[in-house]
């Protein structure tokens, strides 16, 4: 009876290892196949909020400059031909919609 709690604890630990092991995998942004996949030079839309508590979201066109494991650096062009670089969360970016060839003709 003394070994029952120890055996139960080991069983729970092993089940936890089996369930948690996929989360240990390190993935690179270029290897992830999801809507958040961005490439350097890609045109995106930045969903910008002027304040965190603001309900209004502005859609600002931008271009991806750099990629990191947690953020994306984008370049936003101002009206006076200046460019500003910002590090943003990939969840705040959208890809530009694909334009079909038939729409261009």
| Residues 61-99 pLDDT 10s | 999 999 888 889 999 998 888 999 999 999 889 887 766
* Model confidence at 41: pLDDT above 60: yes
Domain at 29-97: CATH code: 2.30.30.40
What pLDDT is recorded for position 20?
65
* Percentage above 70 pLDDT, the chain: 74
- pLDDT for the residue numbered 33: 42
pLDDT for residue 27: 47
Query: What six digits make up the tokens of 42?
Result: 């890609």
Asked if the model's pLDDT at residue 13 lies above 70, the reply is: yes
Task: Give pLDDT, residue 73.
Answer: 93
pLDDT at residue 79, as a whole number: 86
pLDDT of residue 12: 84
Domains of the chain, by residue range, sit at 29-97
84 close to 74: Cβ distance less than 8 angstroms: no
Distance CA 60, CA 88 (A): 13
As a whole number of angstroms, the distance between CA 91 and CA 47 comes to: 9
Between residues 100 and 56, the one the model is more confident about: 56
Asked if residue 74 lies in contact with residue 63, where contact means CB atoms within 8 angstroms, the answer is: yes
Residues 17-27, mean pLDDT to the nearest whole number: 58
d(CA 72, CA 82): 20
Q: Do 46 and 88 contact (CB within 8 A), yes or no?
A: yes
The span from the CA of 60 to the CA of 77, in Å, is 9
């Amino acid at each position: 009876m003394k070994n029952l709690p120890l055996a139960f604890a080991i069983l729970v630990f092993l089940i936890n290892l089996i369930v948690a092991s996929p989360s240990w995998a390190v993935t690179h942004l270029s290897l992830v196949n999801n809507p958040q996949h961005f490439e350097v030079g890609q045109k995106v839309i930045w969903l910008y909020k002027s304040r965190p508590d603001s309900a209004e979201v502005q859609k600002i066109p931008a271009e991806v400059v750099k990629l990191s494991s947690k953020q994306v650096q984008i370049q936003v062009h101002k009206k006076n031909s200046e460019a500003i670089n910002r590090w943003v969360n990939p969840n705040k970016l959208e890809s530009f919609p694909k334009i079909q060839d038939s729409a261009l003709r």
